[in-house]
Every structure is written in structure tokens, then in C-alpha cells.
Amino acid sequence: MLILPAEGDFRLDREADTVRLGAAIAHVLQKREAVCLTGPLGAGKSTLARAVIRALAGEGTEAPSPTFTLVQTYDTAGFPVAHFDLYRLERPEEILELGLDEALEDGAAVVEWAEKLAHHLPPDRLDIELTVDGPNRRARLTPHGAWEERPLEF
């Protein structure tokens, strides 16, 4: 299904749906862009982040959530992708020390717990709010900057 633009609410009935969404996002993700994930524990942020990373870096790529290291960078065929997990971030200003701006200069970023960035959100980003809907998950996609009007095949 082609979604024009990459915006709206989507049901993710199975983990495979989340993985498919991640692969679709990876297919159109470009340098200097971010995918910003929000939602409660267990909503699927790490699953979606891993799906984006594996689609870019290869299916065999280990992509654990960097909860304790806060950031992990992966080499891909096109550009590096930095995976940020901001769960343990105490102040939005700490992101400056983690190198989000630098990661976006040379590559792209996937950010879990993006709400902790406050006013430090990148301008070219796809916000994805994940929620739990009984046994299923829902994803609300909101494009910003370069993501506006971009198609997504999901």
C-alpha cells in the first residue's frame, strides 16, 4: 500500500507489521533526517527501531536498544545510522553531549523516547507515536520538514 504522504494512524496487529513499517521507513530515510519514536514501555519502539536499522544495515545486524550506552552507530551501505535511546536522559540539554547534531551531519538517526528532546527535535523528522491497543499496537505518523509529502510504501 502506498501512503501519500507518510502520515496518519496505522494498526500494527503483529510484530511483522511493525517490522514491515520499519523497512518502509528505512527505504525512504535520507541523510540528515531522524525517525523520532514515542510511546509507553512495551509499545514497540525498540522493535521498530531495530527494523529500521536491520533494513539499512542487513538482517543479521544485532541491534540491541542502547539503554545504557544511550547511542549506538551502525554502518550501512548509504550512510551511518545512529540509534539513540533516551530513556535514561534526565535533561534535554544532555542530547548535545550525545552527538545527535553530529550524527545528523553525516547520517541519519532513530531516536527512542524522543519526547525527552523537548525543543531539540531535528527539523527533518518523522515522528511516530506508538500506543498499545489491547493485544495490538497503533502507530501515528507525523512528518516534519523534508518528510512532509514524502510517500511511504507500507
Sequence spans of domains, the chain: 10-145
H-run or E-run covering 109: strand 108-112
Cell of 95: 542530547
Q: What is the pLDDT of residue 78?
A: 87
Task: Look at 71 and 25; give whichever has higher pLDDT.
Answer: 25
Instruction: Kindly report which listed range (34-38, 62-66, 114-118) carries the lowest average pLDDT score.
Output: 62-66
Cell of 112: 527512542
Residue-averaged pLDDT of the chain: 88
User: Model-level pTM?
Assistant: 0.91
The CATH H-level superfamily of 10-145 is: P-loop containing nucleotide triphosphate hydrolases (3.40.50.300)
- For the chain, what percent of residues have pLDDT higher than 70? 91
CB-based contact 146:31 (threshold 8 Å): no
Q: What is the pLDDT of residue 67?
A: 60
Cβ neighbour number for residue 30 with a 10 Å cutoff: 13
Model confidence at 31: pLDDT above 60: yes
